[in-house]
Amino acid sequence: MPEYKLIYFDAMGRAELTRWIFKLADIPYTDERIPAEEWPERKKSTPGGTLPVLLVDEQVLRQSMAIARYVAREAGLVPQDNLESALCDALVETVMELQQQMIKIMRSPGDDEEKKTKLQQEFIPNQVEQFFTCLRERLHDREWYCGDQVTWADLAIGRVFCTLVSTQEPLFDKYPDIRSYVEKICALPGIQDWIQTRPETSF
Ligand SMILES: N[C@@H](CCC(=O)N[C@@H](CS)C(=O)NCC(=O)O)C(=O)O
């Protein structure tokens, strides 16, 4: 097995899905977190000048989605079937777009109360509920999003919604099936432990 080093900031952001994949598959890796004050200097020697970067032995891999998909393939978490695999890709991209929109609201100017209102009155009813409705249709006779075993698509959903589930967001009262599904993902071997022990960061 190659030696893996995942380099990112001290945040979940665009690296956390890859961390989940490593954890579920029990693949050892180095989780390097660059302190914000060191970034301007490190940026100069970082290929492309952005993070995350995955080192696979000496090979540098960029772009968070390419990194996550590569590790997921290595871990057997991508369906063999081409179409099923594309369905997973589409789901992961949708979930990542939701995540970026959520982060954008949280980082926008204004106090916490304003941001919370924006999330609860605009983002959740419009974006998240629409997503949950589609997800519910997809999952109605399935245990996992694709095929009959967990894939990186399930992990992408767990990664984005596990915090909302654990804070008992009332949104889930309307979607108890989605709550159970997210809880099942967060309780997977390796994942539950990671959620409990990972460094505490906001995003
Ligand atoms: N499309 C790239 C975007 C990478 C990106 O924008 N990373 C941000 C952190 S999430 C970054 O490195 N920002 C610091 C900088 O641009 O100097 C990916 O998904 O990996």
Q: What is the CATH number of the domain that holds 49?
A: 3.40.30.10
Distance between Cα 156 and ligand 1 center (Å): 18
Residue 118: the pLDDT is 87
Give pairs for 82-89: CB < 8 Å, separation 24+. 84/146, 84/147, 87/145, 87/146, 87/153, 88/145, 88/146, 88/151, 88/152, 88/153
Q: How far apart are the first and last CA of the chain?
A: 31
Cα gap 203→183, rounded to integer Å: 19
The structure tokens listed for 9 are: 């900031």
- Do 144 and 63 belong to one domain? no
Mean pLDDT of all residues in the chain?
95
Distance between Cα 119 and ligand 1 center (Å): 24
Q: Is residue 198 part of a domain?
A: no
- Do 48 and 104 belong to one domain? no
Residue 144: the pLDDT is 97
Domain ends where: 57, 76, 95? Answer: 76
Categorize the per-residue pLDDT at 55 as very low, low, confident or very high, splitting at 50, 70 and 90.
Answer: very high
- Do 118 and 37 belong to one domain? no
Q: Is residue 192 part of a domain?
A: no
Q: Is residue 193 part of a domain?
A: no
Pocket test for ligand 1, best of 50, 54, 65, 100 (most atoms within 8 A of CB): 50
- Do 90 and 42 belong to one domain? no
CA distances from 49 to 5, 34, 113, 122 (A): 17, 13, 34, 34
Total domain count, the chain: 2
**pLDDT at residue 163 above 90?**
no
Residue 137: the pLDDT is 97
Question: Residues 172, 162: contact at Cβ < 8 Å?
Answer: no
**Which residues in 175-199 are b (16+ Cβ under 10 Å) and which e?**
beebbebbeebbebeebeebbeeee
Q: Convert the pLDDT of each residue in 81-127 to its tens digit.
A: 999 999 999 999 999 999 999 889 988 888 888 988 888 889 999 99
- Grouping H, G, I as helix, E, B as strand and the rest as coil, residue 4 is strand
- Do 166 and 106 belong to one domain? yes
Domain residues for the domain of 61 are 4-76
Residue 53: the pLDDT is 98
Residue 86: the pLDDT is 97
Q: Is residue 87 part of a domain?
A: yes
178 membership: H or E segment, kind and range:
helix 176-186
Q: Is residue 201 part of a domain?
A: no
**pLDDT at residue 13 above 90?**
yes
Half-sphere exposure of residue 117: CA atoms within 13 angstroms, side-chain side: 5
- Do 24 and 114 belong to one domain? no
Residue 34: the pLDDT is 98
Q: Is 43 in the pocket of ligand 1 (CB under 6 A)?
A: yes
- Do 19 and 88 belong to one domain? no
**pLDDT at residue 167 above 80?**
no
Categorize the per-residue pLDDT at 128 as very low, low, confident or very high, splitting at 50, 70 and 90.
Answer: very high
- Do 64 and 96 belong to one domain? no
- Do 71 and 147 belong to one domain? no
Residue 166: the pLDDT is 80
- Model pTM score: 0.95
- Tell me what the mean pLDDT of segment 1-18 comes to: 97
- Do 93 and 174 belong to one domain? yes
